[in-house]
Amino acid sequence: MISVEKAVIARLTKSGEKFEILVDPEKALEVKSGKDVSLDELLASEEIYEDARKGLRVAGEKVNKTFGTNDLNTVIKKIIIEGEVQITTEQRREMLEEKRRAIANVISKRGVNPQTGLPHPPDRILRAMDEAKIRIELEKRVEEQIDGILKEIQTIIPIKFEKVQIAVKIPPSFAGKASNIMRSFGSLLKEEWSSNGSYVSLIEIPAGIQQEFYDRLNNLTHGQVEVKIIKKL
């Protein structure tokens, strides 16, 4: 659970009654956007209040009458989704900036400059977002905003999302760890172990993270990895 000092109030007025909970502001907004968040990450207290600042709790009978249940998880999520999360202007500004940078990082990893085949660094993406006057929506998840923002910044810089399929061969001594690394980068389309124990696979990854992918495998195998681009998508 988060500390009470870092928590904000989420409030819902329903059937003439007021219900308040103390929540982590970022996690509460994730819940609003549809993400499943555990109560341990979300709450500063497992209490439901009629006035959180005064510490006045709501009776369990009133909770049950209003929500039709006393299940804490159900009630908490309803208060957040149907109510309002009281974040400060400064908190909102910081959270918007964090989401803005997260979006730029995703676009940088997935996108390439079609003229060079190389990714744009995140700072260049951020500048393009500023030039295009992109408006970040705090209540929406990063993934929900990516496609729309990509279209907007394409008027500023040459960029497109591209994937590549790469064949990889790893020596037997590194095969176990390599399999885990591969899964963290993209979609494994095929994998097998050859008769000598070598790990052979076909993976599809965003074109913008190719160099990072190669670097990880080279560091693991001390340069003994074999890679070949099979297809660009």
Instruction: Cite the beta strand spans of 86-172 per DSSP E.
Output: 111-112, 160-161, 163-170
Q: Where in the chain are the domains?
A: 4-85, 89-160, 162-232
Whether residue 180 is predicted with pLDDT greater than 90 in this model: the reply is: no
Class of domain 4-85: alpha beta
Burial of 207 from C-beta contacts in 10 A (0-12 / 13-18 / 19+): buried
Secondary structure letter of residue 46 according to DSSP: S
pLDDT of residue 37: 92
The CATH architecture of the domain made up of 162-232 is 2-Layer Sandwich (3.30)
pLDDT of residue 6: 87
Q: Which of 203, 143, 153, 152 is nearest to 178 (CA)?
A: 203
Question: Which pTM was predicted?
Answer: 0.74
State the fold for domain 89-160.
Arc Repressor Mutant, subunit A (1.10.10)
- Is 58 in contact with 50 (CB distance < 8 Å)? yes
pLDDT of residue 77: 94
Instruction: Cite the beta strand spans of the chain per DSSP E.
Output: 8-14, 17-23, 49-51, 56-57, 84-85, 111-112, 160-161, 163-170, 187-193, 199-206, 226-232
109-142, pLDDT tens digit by residue? 999 999 998 999 999 999 999 999 999 998 888 9
Q: Taking residues 138-147, what's their average pLDDT?
A: 90
Burial of 97 from C-beta contacts in 10 A (0-12 / 13-18 / 19+): exposed
